Amino acid sequence: MLVTIVSVAAAIVVYRFITNLASVNYEPGMRPLFSPLGLFGAIIPTYWWNPGLRWVWEWRNSNFRNHEYDVVSLVPILMGNPYYYTCSVDVVKQLLNNELWGENIISANDDMWKRHRRILSPALTFHTYSLVVSETIAVYREMVTAEGWQGRDTITIADVSPLPHKLALNVIARCGFGLGLPWVDPHPQKNEMSFGESLTIVSSSAIARLILPSCAYKLPIPRVRSLDRAWKTLATFMNDLVDRREAELDEHPVDNDQSEGGDIFSRLVGAMSVDEATKLALKKQEVIGNTFALMFAGRETTACALVATLGFLAIHQEHQAAAYAEIMANLPSHRDPVLEDLSKLPHLLACYHEAIRMYPGGAMLTREMAEDVSIKISRPVERTMVLKKGALMVVEMIAVHHNPHFFPDPDEFRPSRWYNVLETDIPMFGFGPRACVGKKFSHVEAMCFLSLFLRDWKLDIPLAAGETRVEYETRTMGRAGQVGMAFGCGPVALSLSRRG
């Protein structure tokens, strides 16, 4: 009996595996036991038989058969769907400029994505970006005061990561949602949790939330109960936030059909009152979902990029010196920057772009083809590949941005890659109609913060005994992985010296 059961199970596995191979046209690639996008594949560490969560970084130089294939397939043997993966900038351009690059299997379908973009885009105006500058300046000064840096000439920071994360959260909260979060969280009452604390816990516990059954939260385990409390606190806060803004808009409406105006959150909430027959109507759960996503996107991707930029500028003193000279030529220390100043810092922007290239905040984009899509590939041979309707494609962003055919010496920090490059040719924020709607928001915030930070402080690195700068870079910047829901480098220590 046991033999029969095992034989039937094996036959089912083999049949399913062969069927999945056929669905990706037998394209060469990886054949792990589990899909890295599935639950089992995600919780099991990275081994040769299971990519896990870290394979995109640990195997970045050998993926795609040493980058000699533009597209490969991943067909799990035991569990998970078959996928195509690409590491080619050219293929990404073809896909992201194609209207048939359809349903987002993580969140929204194509029509919903267009609808949300139409609602949000008018809120991203010159006024909004000017507000980002002024609020970034205000938050930076709050940080300096709250961290006790005033009057100090030298400072050692064991891990700079929390500072950009808190800054990015404060800026998106103030500019996008009208929330005046303080730099230091007020001490909540016993068994209560602040918004900032709950957001931090939620961003780092998505997988745990999926794995743990509801009964687990009743166990006397403080960490598990804290996780549950964070998710419930954030959900309650989001609901209350939407309700309060809806009441405000009842008294002072925002016209979502106007060409521009209103902050991001007001436009989202205002879409709840639009006639559902129009293309600009949103349900409350969609508003909460967008708010949640924008909070994370606006916080974690920008923060991770800032951490990497600070780390590389501390290591590569020549690039820091060039950035500082550029800042002082355009932003003398007697005045605050304004929006127009930030476009005069091309080297600093190139450093920021290069940091994002090396650690793209979104490690992958996953889509389902809405119709048959033909793409041209160059490697290993030039040919046309047809992705059938329903096929799943993953743009592996780390492999794309570490592809030596497009970025020679991809592990080298080289800001000059981005000198005089057109904005439309910078792949880290997407291409065409799929380009990131918050790209300029992120740029303005990052450039303002970096210009203030570098104008006030000279950055350096605390080397271990006998350690060289190259060894430090390998040890520190060579570690990367998921930071909350984004991708970024590991903890970065800095030594700061006040500039005269």
Q: List, for residues 409-451, the tens digit of each pLDDT value.
A: 999 999 999 999 988 888 888 766 667 778 888 999 999 999 9
Contact residues for 25 (Cβ-Cβ < 8 A; gap 6+): 73, 385
Q: Is residue 266 part of a domain?
A: yes
Is position 58 within any domain?
no
| Cis peptide preceding 380, ω within 30 of 0 | yes
Give the domain range for residue 454: 112-364+402-498
Residue 436 inside a domain? The answer is yes
At residue 276, what are phi and psi to the nearest 5 degrees?
Answer: -60, -15
Higher pLDDT, 72 or 485: 72
Per-residue pLDDT reduced to its tens digit, 297-306: 778 889 999 9
Does residue 252 form part of some domain? yes
The mean per-residue pLDDT over the stretch 2-21 comes to 90
Radius of gyration of the chain (CA): 24
CATH code: domain of residue 257: 1.10.630.10
351 is in an annotated binding site: no
- Strand-pair partners of 447: none
How far is Cα 388 from Cα 96, in angstroms, rounded to an integer? 16
Residue 235 lies in a domain: yes
Range list of H helices, 88-205? 89-96, 110-120, 126-146, 162-177, 195-203
Indicate the number of domains in the chain: 1
pLDDT the model gives residue 154:
96
Instruction: Establish if 451 belongs to a structural domain.
Output: yes
**For the chain, how far is it from start to end, CA to CA, in angstroms?**
82
Q: What is the DSSP letter of 79?
A: B
Torsion, Cα of 25, 28, 33, 34 (10° steps) = -70
Q: Does position 124 have pLDDT exceeding 80, yes or no?
A: no
Helix (H) or strand (E) holding 57: helix 55-58
In this structure, is residue 86 part of a structural domain? no
Query: How high is the pLDDT of residue 353?
Result: 96
Across the range 204-222, mean pLDDT stands at 80
For 110-124, 146-160, 324-338, 412-426, which range has the lowest pLDDT when averaged over its residues?
110-124
Average per-residue pLDDT in the chain? 86
DSSP classification of residue 407: S
Residue 388 lies in a domain: no
Rounded distance, CA 442 to CA 458, Å?
23
Tokens of 223: 């960490």
Cβ atoms 121, 437 nearer than 8 A: yes
